[in-house]
A and B are shown apart, each in its own frame.
Chain A
């Protein structure tokens, strides 16, 4: 009995020690849940590989994305096949340029477009929505009606017009994407802010004498981040899709730069000549990246879902 009671006391000590163990933030809980989601983790690894490829690949090939291989020009369909002997690992494009280097360069552009586009949406949309939602009343009305107006404009039309009028440049593409991408975000954030505003801890913060700016930045926005991150992770592929569509039309990224959309467009035009690799490689990267983004977004949503807390 003595032996046993000692053991129990020890167990109790252990439990007490564990009880006051490491502190877990809601973020660390979410991280743990995210890493339990196999599809999301696999997607994260694949996406990381794609990003590494985009930035590291140029160091593994003697060709760059602008150089034309004069040896195969004119007979790309026969001699431009993917091969290690010619060092065109992904083959060559219709102009005899190395597809491996071009896919890497296109990946850089596409990922950048996706991330910067979503980034603008996150920063502008979150602040805009949080301010509108927190202050409410007339300010909210004016701000949200402005969003309604911007949303009612057919953005693809405006984007194409912008690119035609101000010249086709990647900067213009960013401006165009940035102009439209934050609208949905601001609406989501505003709705969420209105819910948060009536929470007691916001009332407590007001009663504590904090000014409105501090309340928004310190108390509202951290509580919004879950939703913002999930939405942003779904916005990245959307931005990539939009850019690809614009580039597919020939208005987006300009030569010698390229993007997944531009490469796919180029490859699709050559399919009839039997140069399937020109479509296949960019398409593979495009589809894999989009799938990864969606699975990661899905994993994040499950991990950050407030219902699980």
Chain B
């Protein structure tokens, strides 16, 4: 069923201060047509997880474990073969649309490039296809826009172009790395609608990397929460939102403003995310956790599968939210 399988993926970076574990033993599957969100604070390793899968790690990084796409192992795959997959079967939309397009090439050149490469189209057919894709991402006046240079388009238009490029080869998997972070709220909403519609139309699986829980609630089927390079909770969005099992997920949800309860004070998670070079012992979250026990200092909680496909990595089994008053 699942077309994308990640098993025991770890990403290490060699730095002057020694090895840094950016991603630690992460596993997940993605089924066809599914939208999965990876959520976490900055530096939690959510981006590195997918960058590793596409061979886009920085030079000092290396990945171990297994990433399989349609049964084919991607880690350690020759660049030549990897290039047949990335951009074609798995494509990516980057965070900042302002810098993700080459400023010296017309939109048409940048779109045609991918199509001629992967689909073997000639320039004319590729241009027609590119215009069709720009229409698909609801960019008005596509035949005009395609002749423009990136600096002549707005941020939202550029992001639509990026999405059009990513979707132009009708990939099985679309990876969106914080696709709405650099956009203003109204455009964000449009983008999310667009993603929702496109994954439906094209049957594409979407991996959405974000720190914006509002985005997750809007379009994802399942969500995975990462903290300090580890997966701490996994589950379908509705259940995870309404009854988070992990104190970190709980903290995240409670530090997000809710429109229907404006009086409520936000409860930020105390402290800062730990430095990956110097992780706390046991559970990496214990210094900031209101529910930490003796055991959390010594032992690392494992991600345990619970009912309904939910998983949680925490020793605390009680109800969350009880201890709010004691802080």
Contacts and interface: CB of A to CB of B under 8 A. Distances in A.
B4 interface: no
B308 interface: no
A149 interface: no
A200 B96 contact: yes
Nearest to B86: A209
A255 to B, nearest CB: 47
A36 interface: no
Nearest to A207: B92
B151 interface: yes
Q: What is the predominant secondary structure among interface residues of chain A facing chain B?
A: helix
B100 A209 contact: no
B105 A26 contact: no
A201 interface: yes
Interface in A250-309: 309
B175 to A, nearest CB: 8
Interface string B49-67: 0000010100100000000
Contacts of A204: 92, 94, 100-101, 162, 165
Interface stretch (B141-149, B267-275, B289-297): B141-149
Most buried by B among A26, A208, A225: A208
A56 interface: no
A223 B105 CA distance: 9
Interface stretch (B10-18, B111-119, B253-261): B111-119
B152 interface: yes
Contact-residue size bin, chain B (C-beta under 8 Å from the other chain): 35 or more
B103 interface: yes
Contacts of A210: 83, 87, 113-114, 117
Nearest to A226: B104
Contact of B88 (A209, A212, A222, A223): A209
Most buried by A among B54, B102, B113, B151: B102
Interface in B128-173: 141, 144, 147-149, 151-152, 162, 165
A207 B54 contact: yes
Most buried by B among A23, A26, A309: A23
Contacts of B151: 26, 309
B117 A207 contact: no
B250 to A, nearest CB: 34
B99 A200 contact: yes
A218 interface: yes
B104 A26 contact: yes
A223 B165 contact: no
A20 interface: yes
A201 B101 contact: yes
A208 B162 CA distance: 11
17 contacts: A23-B147, A26-B104, A203-B56, A204-B165, A205-B102, A207-B54, A207-B86, A207-B94, A208-B87, A209-B83, A209-B87, A210-B83, A210-B87, A212-B79, A214-B113, A214-B117, A223-B103
Interface of A: 20, 23-27, 136-137, 199-201, 203-212, 214, 218-219, 222-223, 225, 309
